[in-house]
Amino acid sequence: MLKFISAALLVAASVFGSANAQAPRTLDQVKSRGALNCGANPGLIGFGAPDAQGNWAGLDVEYCRAIAAAIFGDASKVKFIPLSANDRFKALLAGEVDVLIRNSTWTISNDTPPGLLFVGVNYYDGQAIMVRRKLGATSVMQLSGASICAQRGTTTELNLADYFRVNKLKYKLVSFDTGAETIKAYDAGRCDAFTTDASSLYAERLKLSAPDDHMVLLEIISKEPLGPLTRDNDSQWFKLVRWVHFAMLNAEELGVTKANVDQMLKSENPEIRRLLGIDGAFGEGLGLTKDWAYRIIKQVGNYGESFERTVGNRSVLKMMRGQNALWTNGGLQYAPPIR
Amino acid sequence: MTDATTEMAPYAFVRKETLEQQAAPLSVAGPLAWVRNNLFSGPLNTLLTLLCVYIVATSLPELIRFYFIDAVWTGANRDACLADKVGRPVGACWAYVADRLQYFIYGSYPISERWRVNIVFAMFALGVVWMLWTQAPKKKLGFFYFFVLMPISAYVLLLGGAGAERLVRNGMVLSLALAAIYVVLSFVPQLVGFYLGSANLAVVQEASPLKRFSGPKQLILFALVVFGALGVLASSIGLPRVDTGLWGGMTVTFLIAAVGIVFSLPFGILLALGRRSKLPIIQLISVIFIEFVRGVPLITVLFMANTMLPLFVPQEYSPDRLLRPLIGVAMFAAAYMAEVIRGGLQAMPKGQYEGAMSLGLGYWSMMRLIILPQALRIVIPGIVNTFIGLFKDTTLVTIVGIFDFLRTIEATLVDPTWATPTTRATGYAFAAVFYFLCCWGMSRYSISVEKRLAAGQKR
């Protein structure tokens, strides 16, 4: 029933949403409102969650702040609207939020409904497996015959089945209705291994009674590219959101950081000069000012800084860059040049 | 028969002195008898008693050990609550609740502005005590405070910004104007007396508008004081706007419950009267509203309000994200309340209506003076039932992305700073205590009201 309602709503949303196609451009709306409405995760640590003081923090949250910095020169002009997985796309289509940065997985079924447009990938996630150290396993290939805890009814279960079938490994699935039950069962020794997305696996590990007795295996057994979405009726806005990410990547590649961005203004490197708007006026094509990238880096920082602060080494999660390293370091994060 | 005749009775078998008083037999009075009568009065009750004793004996020590003896009370992060870090078994992690208490109370409300929320809490507490404490003085003033001044002040303080300041200014101007009119009117008798001669003064004073205005004097003064205080706050410290997206925690839970409770009772009464009305249009509207609202779950109402409404209303005019569930909850509670009150109205004997009419009372006087006081008394349990249900239903606003009290607890559960095996149990135990205290308080108060009002009918 709920599925039916939500399907009906999605259809209605796309019908009415496209009726609004002639509505003023998103950028103008954001400017006249004086704040960016950003669809956020109600609570995923490292990506979007309120901290002890109730301030929003996370990788997705910093993306929103970067967009606000580019538009207003003030990263604080964001209104975070927490959305459940169920109504995130409807809220975007209905115009409740200007951009949805809520660890949504870029799959064909999420990409094809009318009205939605994936902007890019700000985090390459994937499913991983955690085991007890004393099991002595260092690779998934050694897990044949193991019992594995997973949450029931999620893609986690399906990915696990796919991967083990392809690699001709046997396993016993022990599934539970909620994530909390699943991790508890693993902690109690009901199964040998525990699986979920790598990004939350590290946070889940901390809930165990002795986190150091457990390790995450290196193999990533599924592809979960997470990225922001916009509506598909405003290509200027789409490009703006996309280039905010690219600017942060280019800044990291060129070694421009929050701390040294002011010295970099005097740099002789033409690429840096173009990035910071000293040569050329590339921001104007996006409806922004020349110094759009400078504003982002000055207030939020480059992608690497943002990553380390929210999910990486300087955060509690301590995740490795892995696939999210720059292409120059063997990762997948690659940005077109600013030229 | 008097003592004298007993004394003189010649029969030997008649006792002459009374027996020593003896204690009642053990099987009738005393703790043993109580135990026997109440706990072991039959095989079924004996079985149930033993079962209960068994359950309590097996679970209670465990719970006390977990929540009190092994509990951790102080600490800065998860290390304080990890068994292998502190070197003993760890129960509930109360240090986590203490650390996040501010967030549970205020949500994301800016820290520098939280004093505003505190004032609202204090005002709310004052209003509640004033309304509920039977011996409190000046009940009418309290009524005015609770239903007019407090909501306006809460709105101004919590939201702030230009709109709120305008509201304070208008409120001040309005109450000043009323005060001025009042002062002018109070001089009318003197002026009239001056022109007509003091002989007529008594007559004039009798007919003076002041007589009719003597009630509002206190109200106007009170309003002036409250608006004045708000005005001083706004102009000296300033009340910057705090977006409703930042509100959260207990603040929002109390807000939703208070709005629901305050709106549902008057609207419920009107709807109930409307449904029993003989005017077809009013009746039809009431019936449609009640049946429609009761026919859909609250979740659906909230869901529709948050996903469908923005599609039909231009973005600039779409109501605030917090206002939508507030309206939804108030409507919902009103429909249920209407049916509860209708039950009370139907329980009234026809004679009460006829008696009232034979006294010459009109419809509203009859309802206000005769029918409603009795009907409402009958349905107090039902009304409080609805209030308690409403209070618990406030947690449903979570699904439309509002951080109510329960949601703030859930939000902190994902935070690795306090990720320990017992954090979840502690957080939910804290929520349980909070909801239990609120609901239990409401239920105890309703019982005391029932007892007081039903004193004449005690069986």
Which chain A residues are Cβ-neighbours of B248 within 8 angstroms? Answer: 54
Which chain B residues are Cβ-neighbours of A199 within 8 angstroms? Answer: none
Question: A89: closest CA among A100, A78, A103, A105?
Answer: A100
Residue B310 to residues A12, A95, B246, B397: CA-CA distances in angstroms? 12, 7, 20, 17
Q: Give the per-residue pLDDT at A177.
A: 82
Q: B108 and A55: CB-CB below 8 Å?
A: yes
Q: Which residues contact A251 (CB under 8 A, 6 or more apart)?
A: A257, A261, A275, A293, A296, A297, A302, A303
Q: What is the pTM of this model?
A: 0.81
What crossing angle do the helices spanning B298-307 and A2-19 adopt, rounded to 10°? 20
Averaged pLDDT of chain B: 86
**pLDDT category of residue B210 using cuts at 50, 70 and 90:** low
What crossing angle do the helices spanning A235-253 and A26-33 adopt, rounded to 10°? 80
Which chain B residues are Cβ-neighbours of A58 within 8 angstroms? Answer: none
Q: How far apart are CA B393 and CA B397, in angstroms?
A: 8
Q: Give the per-residue pLDDT at A18.
A: 47
C-alpha Rg value of chain A to the nearest Å: 21
Q: How many CB atoms lie within 10 A of CB A139?
A: 10
Do A287 and A281 form a contact (C-beta atoms < 8 A)?
no
pLDDT surpasses 70 at B71: yes
- Three-state SS string over chain A comes to CHHHHHHHHHHHHHHHHHHHHHCCCHHHHHHHHCCEEEEECCCECCCEEECCCCCEECHHHHHHHHHHHHHHCCCCCEEEEECCCCCHHHHHHCCCCCEEEEEEECCHHHHCCCCEEECCCCEEECEEEEEEHHHCCCCHHHHCCEEEEEECCCHHHHHHHHHHHHCCCCEEEEEECCHHHHHHHHHCCCCCEEEEEHHHHHHHHCCCCCHHHEEECCCCCCCEEEEEEEECCCHHHHHHHHHHHHHHHHHHHCCCCCCCHHHHCCCCCHHHHHHCCCCCCHHHHHCCCCCHHHHHHHHCCCHHHHHHHHCCCCCCCCCCCHHHCEHHHCCCECCCCCC
Q: How far apart are CA A44 and CA A140, in angstroms?
A: 26
**pLDDT category of residue B201 using cuts at 50, 70 and 90:** low
Residue of A45, A55, A204 to mutate, interface with B, max B Cβ within 10 Å: A45
Q: How far apart are CA B54 and CA B394, in angstroms?
A: 36
Same fold for the pair A24-124+225-329 and A127-216: yes
Q: How far apart are CA B232 and CA B239, in angstroms?
A: 10
Question: A255: closest CA among B5, B91, A207, A263?
Answer: A263
Q: Strand A224-231 relative to strand A123-125: parallel, antiparallel, unpaired?
A: antiparallel
Compare CB distances from A42 to B107, B411, B415 and report the shortest one's residue. B411
Which chain B residues are Cβ-neighbours of A56 within 8 angstroms? Answer: 108
Question: B330: closest CA among B265, B381, B384?
Answer: B265
Select the more confidently predicted residue: A7 or B420.
B420
A188 has a chain B CB within 8 A of its CB: no
Structure tokens at B109: 């409300």
For residue A235, count CB atoms less than 10 angstroms from its CB and return exposed for 0-12, middle for 13-18, buried for 19 or more. Answer: exposed
**pLDDT category of residue A15 using cuts at 50, 70 and 90:** low
Closest chain B residue to A200, measured at CA: B414
- Fold classification of A24-124+225-329 is D-Maltodextrin-Binding Protein; domain 2 (3.40.190)
Closest chain B residue to A14, measured at CA: B311
Question: B384: closest CA among B66, B34, B53, B132?
Answer: B132
Averaged pLDDT of chain A: 88
Q: Which residues contact B122 (CB under 8 A, 6 or more apart)?
A: none
Closest chain B residue to A26, measured at CA: B315
Residue of B78, B84, B88, B414 to mutate, interface with A, max A Cβ within 10 Å: B414
A85 has a chain B CB within 8 A of its CB: no
A1 has a chain B CB within 8 A of its CB: no
A8 has a chain B CB within 8 A of its CB: no
Do A250 and A304 form a contact (C-beta atoms < 8 A)?
no
Give A240 to chain B, closest Cα distance, Å: 21
The B-side interface with A (CB below 8 A) comprises: 78, 82-84, 99-100, 102-103, 106-109, 111, 243, 245-246, 248, 300, 303, 306-308, 310-312, 315, 321, 399, 401, 403, 407, 410-411, 414-417, 419-421, 423-424
Q: B243 and A187: CB-CB below 8 Å?
A: no
Residue of A207, A234, A313, A316 to mutate, interface with B, max B Cβ within 10 Å: A207
Do A87 and A5 form a contact (C-beta atoms < 8 A)?
no
Q: Give the per-residue pLDDT at A63.
A: 97
| pLDDT (average), residues B372-383 | 91
Q: How far apart are CA A172 and CA A155, in angstroms?
A: 17
* % of chain B with per-residue pLDDT over 90: 44
For residue A261, count CB atoms less than 10 angstroms from its CB and return exposed for 0-12, middle for 13-18, buried for 19 or more. Answer: buried
Which chain A residues are Cβ-neighbours of B401 within 8 angstroms? Answer: 42, 81-84
Question: B426: closest CA among B58, B81, B56?
Answer: B81
- Give me the residue label for tokens 């600017």: A247
**pLDDT category of residue A21 using cuts at 50, 70 and 90:** very low
Do B82 and B72 form a contact (C-beta atoms < 8 A)?
no
Q: Give the per-residue pLDDT at B10.
A: 67
- Three-state SS string over B78-125 comes to HHHHCHHHHCCCCCCEHHHHHHHHHHHHHECCCHHHHHHHHHHHHHHH
Which chain A residues are Cβ-neighbours of B103 within 8 angstroms? Answer: 50, 52-54
- Facing residues of A123 across strands? A226
What is the DSSP track for B302-349? HHHHHHTHHHHS-GGGSPPTTHHHHHHHHHHHHHHHHHHHHHHHHHS-
Which chain A residues are Cβ-neighbours of B419 within 8 angstroms? Answer: 203, 206-207
Closest chain A residue to B81, measured at CA: A209
- What's the pLDDT tens digit per position in A84-141? 877 788 889 888 899 999 988 898 988 998 899 999 999 999 999 999 998 888 899 9
Q: B421 and A209: CB-CB below 8 Å?
A: yes
Give B423 to chain A, closest Cα distance, Å: 8
Closest chain B residue to A180, measured at CA: B424
A78 has a chain B CB within 8 A of its CB: no
pLDDT surpasses 90 at B101: yes
Give A89 to chain B, closest Cα distance, Å: 10
Q: How far apart are CA B42 and CA B169, in angstroms?
A: 72
Q: Strand A56-57 relative to strand A49-50: parallel, antiparallel, unpaired?
A: antiparallel
| Domain residue ranges of chain A, discontinuous segments joined by + | 24-124+225-329, 127-216
Give A150 to chain B, closest Cα distance, Å: 18
Chains A–B, number of C-beta pairs less than 8 Å apart: 101
Structure tokens at A287: 């409806």
A316 has a chain B CB within 8 A of its CB: yes
What crossing angle do the helices spanning A235-253 and A303-310 adopt, rounded to 10°? 80
Q: Give the per-residue pLDDT at A156.
A: 85
Q: A209 and B246: CB-CB below 8 Å?
A: no
Q: Give the per-residue pLDDT at B11.
A: 73
Q: How far apart are CA B322 and CA B324, in angstroms?
A: 5
Q: Give the per-residue pLDDT at A10.
A: 60
Structure tokens at B327: 């309206």
| pLDDT (average), residues B278-300 | 93
Q: Compute φ and ψ for A57, nearest 5 degrees.
A: -145, 150
Structure tokens at B272: 């109930």
CA B314 distance to own-chain centroid: 36
- What's the pLDDT tens digit per position in B319-356? 888 888 898 899 899 999 999 999 999 999 999 999 99
- What's the pLDDT tens digit per position in B110-159? 999 999 999 999 999 999 899 888 888 888 888 889 888 999 999 999 99
**pLDDT category of residue B365 using cuts at 50, 70 and 90:** very high
Q: Give the per-residue pLDDT at B206.
A: 58
A180 has a chain B CB within 8 A of its CB: yes
Q: Strand A171-176 relative to strand A49-50: parallel, antiparallel, unpaired?
A: unpaired
C-alpha Rg value of chain B to the nearest Å: 31
Structure tokens at A41: 């995760």
Do B72 and B94 form a contact (C-beta atoms < 8 A)?
yes
- What's the pLDDT tens digit per position in B230-249? 988 888 888 898 988 889 99
| The residue count for chain A | 339
DSSP annotation of B397 reads G
Residue of A15, A33, A47, A53 to mutate, interface with B, max B Cβ within 10 Å: A53
Least confident among B204-208, B339-343, B388-392: B204-208
CATH superfamily of A127-216: Periplasmic binding protein-like II (3.40.190.10)
A181 has a chain B CB within 8 A of its CB: no
- What's the pLDDT tens digit per position in B252-282? 999 999 999 889 999 999 999 999 999 999 9
- Terminal Cα distance for chain A, rounded: 52
Q: B403 and A82: CB-CB below 8 Å?
A: yes
**pLDDT category of residue B23 using cuts at 50, 70 and 90:** confident
Do A302 and A251 form a contact (C-beta atoms < 8 A)?
yes
* % of chain A with per-residue pLDDT over 70: 93
Least confident among B59-68, B311-320, B422-431: B311-320
DSSP annotation of B69 reads I
Structure tokens at B336: 């249920």
- Facing residues of A81 across strands? A39
Q: Which domains does chain B have, with CATH numbers?
A: 111-241 (no CATH), 259-402 (1.10.3720.10)
* % of chain A with per-residue pLDDT over 90: 57
